[in-house]
Structure 1
Amino acid sequence: MSAPNSDFDPVEVTALRADELERVRDEAIAAIAAADSLAALKQARIDHVGDRSPLALANREIGALPPQARKDAGQRVGQAKGAVTQALAARTAELELLEEQRRLVEETVDVTLPTDADPVGARHPITTIQEHVADIFVAMGWEIAEGPEVEAEWLNFDALNLGPDHPARTMQDTFWVTPERAALVLRTHTSPVQARTMLTRTPPIYIACPGRVFRTDEPDATHAPVFHQVEGLAIDEGLSMAHLKGTLDHLAAAIYGPEITTRFRPSYFPFTEPSAEVDLLCYVCQGAADAVADCGTCRGEGWIEWGGCGVVNPRVLVACGVDPERHSGFAFGMGLDRTITSRYDIADLRDLWDGDIRFTAPFGVGL
């Protein structure tokens, strides 16, 4: 095996010649000086100082030299790299200053102007319609009444003529609060607020009761175990079904528009007698014979079920301390969730509660 060539002349290695290193250094410094942006300077750094740059390749050649030649070659390469590195640092500082000045000019913000830095929030449609309905009744001279969501069994059922054997009192329809002997339920309607008002006040009484109610329904496109109602109660001398119909016609027009039409269908409720279901003429097909069959909103009926109503049963008046010989009244109740889904042709009630702000945001500024 032959020994290393001790007579090797590093000057003969092209990459390590002084004139070649000077040329590579000058080219690198010129490229750095010509860079007009930080991105261009980054590319110049890669080209002239990177792992595959001429200076890096020259540095690798030093390892192949005999020991006595490495010092001088190393000094020449180091001096060239030092000059390039110094030029890079100086140009980087210049370009960073220019970039900062450019951004100060182009991105100047007038902090004295009003701004909406945060996204505008949206109120939930249920909240909005509850307040809208409350405003309608207040404008009519009525009051808004509220009550607890955990309610006494007597107020939720007995006071409203729902006897002990009524099927609505079973676990199939009602959430009972344990222990059962406490006789407390999650209210199944807002009617207990009406009973509480009659027990604590004397007629005339005109109240609306919006709020959350609970029933053991399986959630699907048209049902939910938690939903919202607005109920109304009027107790005074000489009230009749005619006053009830006028009130509901006004409420329907205020919610759905002045062209809406209502109708009453005979029905049965324990707390009213006589009782009726209230329907709205479909606002899409208008009940027209040539359009009703294909209407997806009313499903071919021409009418949309809205709620129940009637003249307050005398038994309810007696239970709540009101003289039925002197006073009469009417009551009604509508589902607010159903009001929204029918008014805006929403196919699935669960869309209201899925938490997708893309659905609820458009309702945030009003109904």
Structure 2
Amino acid sequence: MEVFDKVNGLIADMENSQPANMDELEQFRIKYLGSKNILKPLMGEIRNVPNEQKRDYGQLVNKAKQVAESKYAALKIELESAAEQASAQQLDLTAPGDPLVLGARHPISATWNRIVRIFERIGFVVAEEREIEDDWHNFTAMNTPEDHPARDMQDTYYLKDSTSMLLRTHTSSVQARVMKNQQPPIRIIAPGRVYRNETISARAHAQFHQVEGLYIDEKVSFADLKQTLLYFAREMYGPQTDIRLRPSYFPFTEPSAEMDVTCFICNAKGCNVCKYTGWVEILGCGMVDPQVLINCGIDPEKYSGFAFGMGIERQAMLLYQINDIRLLFENDVRFLEQFKAVL
């Protein structure tokens, strides 16, 4: 019958079709698979087919649709593969590649890593803990009860509708958690981000980073503290560096001290960094107050220890002579590119 011949003719045309490019393939798709393709009217011709042949005709029309779909899929894969090969052949493999722009380690990260490596060489282990802390671990365990005037030394960010949960003001809370869960000997450093409600300026920020250290064992003395910090200062700032300890006050250490190092910018001769004194303050330290040991379940009759803490931003600003702490938080690429050689 004529309708059968017409469908078979279309099937033959599709099978013999060989588009040479993607434009011709698109024309094939429109002709045989588009919304107004030439196969659609074929099913309407079934009314002109004798009843005994309607089934055969319907199957033939369905075959034509399947041939169109499979032919299109095969042609698409073939042409795309050919296009990729042609594109690859056009590449000039001798041409120089695009230069890769290398990033720079952030000065805070570089200083953090440098401090950690120094203390790891003498047996300190890194300890990290939560930044959202409870009042007990942040203050009370560190010998700072609710009515203690030392709480006025640092303005605290408390969580909304809470008087007991806060953003930690120092990493001393890490020390408290370690002492609660581990018996001496303890030798840790606790680096991390801390928060204080301070006015942001060239010298202060509402968030910054600290590294605190803690060593607890039998017969730990102030001499051990001094020798540990002297080692750190000379590894950090150079073998010619000397230190001095000045009496100070911290709730969780007694006695307490501020530590200065000889100015490594001017070799202690006097400059604007050391305010022409030859000394630069870098950290606070002291012997762990026995009450802190008791709060954390450690026997102060058997054990003693020392602790110290420093701001990482301050060390970075001294090392790289940065005069504004805000530069460390602004992510200005022009500023950060200056530290490409820093490890």
**TM-score, normalization by structure 1:** 0.66
Residue 111 of structure 2 corresponds to which residue in structure 1?
Answer: 129
Name the counterpart of 2:39. Answer: none
Q: Residue 310 of structure 1 contacts residue 330 of structure 1 at CA under 8 Å; is this kept in 2?
A: yes
The answer to whether structure 1 residue 160 and structure 2 residue 136 are counterparts is no
Check the 8 A contact 2:154/2:169 in 1, yes or no.
no
- Candidates 162, 172, 182, aligned match of 1:201: 182
Aligned match of 2:285: 309
Do the aligned partners of residues 223 and 238 (structure 1) sit closer, same or farther apart at CA in structure 2, a change above 3 Å counting?
A: same
Q: Secondary structure at the match of 2:236?
A: helix
Change (3 A) 1:116 1:265: farther
2:321 alignment partner in structure 1: 345
Preserved contact between residue 175 and residue 185 of structure 1 (Cα < 8 Å): yes
Aligned to 2:46: none
Q: Say whether residues 1:110 and 2:94 are aligned partners.
A: yes
**Is the Cα–Cα contact under 8 Å of residues 265 and 276 in structure 1 kept in the other structure?**
yes
Partners in 2 of 1:222 and 1:245 — Cα distance? 27
Partner residue, 1:119: 101
The runs of at least 4 consecutive aligned structure 1 residues that moved more than 4 Å come to none
Which range moves more in the overlay, 218-227 or 350-359? Answer: 350-359
CA shift, 1:284, in A, is: 2.3
* 1:230 CA drift (Å): 0.4
Give the whole-Å Cα distance in 1 for the aligned partners of 2:268 and 2:102: 40
Instruction: From 188, 198, 206, give the equivalent of 1:225.
Output: 206
| Equivalent-residue separation in structure 2 for 1:116 and 1:248 (angstroms) | 47
- Judge which range, 161-170 or 146-155, deviates more: 161-170
Give me the whole-angstrom Cα distance separating, in 2, the residues matched to 1:364 and 1:235. Answer: 38
Contact 2:213 2:309 in 1 (8 A): yes
Count, aligned residues: 255
Question: For residues 230-254 of structure 1, what are the alpha-carbon distances to aligned partners after superposition, in whole Å with 9 as ceiling and x for unaligned?
Answer: 0000000011111111111111112
What corresponds to 1:239 in structure 2? 220
CA contact (8 A) 2:104 2:342 kept: no
- Residue identity in the other structure for 1:160: M
Residues of 1 paired with 2:285 and 2:194: CA distance? Answer: 18
Listed one character per residue, the Cα deviations across residues 117-156 of structure 1 (whole Å, up to 9, x for unaligned) are 4311122111122122112222211110001000010000
**3-state SS in 1 of match to 2:234:** helix
Identity of counterpart residues, as a percentage?
48
Shift of 1:158: 0.2
2:191 is aligned to 210
Q: Which runs of 5+ in 1 are unaligned?
A: 1-103
Relative to structure 1, the CA distance from residue 171 to residue 315 in structure 2 (aligned partners, 3 Å threshold; closer, same or farther) is closer
In 1, Cα distance between the equivalents of 2:337 and 2:159?
Answer: 35
Looking at structure 2, the residues matched to 326 and 272 of structure 1 have their Cα atoms a distance apart, in angstroms, of 17
Is structure 2 residue 236 aligned with structure 1 residue 255? yes
Summarize the Cα distance change of 1:356–1:164 in structure 2 as closer, same or farther, 3 Å threshold: same
Identify the range of structure 1 (184-193 vs 164-173) with the bigger mean alpha-carbon deviation. Answer: 164-173
Give the AA of the match of 2:116.
Answer: A
Q: CA RMSD in A?
A: 2.1
Aligned to 2:299: 323
In 1, Cα distance between equivalents of 2:98 and 2:236: 32
Which one has the largest radius of gyration?
1
What is the correspondence of 1:1-367 to structure 2 with a 5 Å cutoff?
108-110=92-94, 117-167=99-149, 169=151, 173-181=155-163, 183-288=164-269, 292=270, 295-367=271-343
Any gaps of 5 or more consecutive residues in structure 2?
1-88
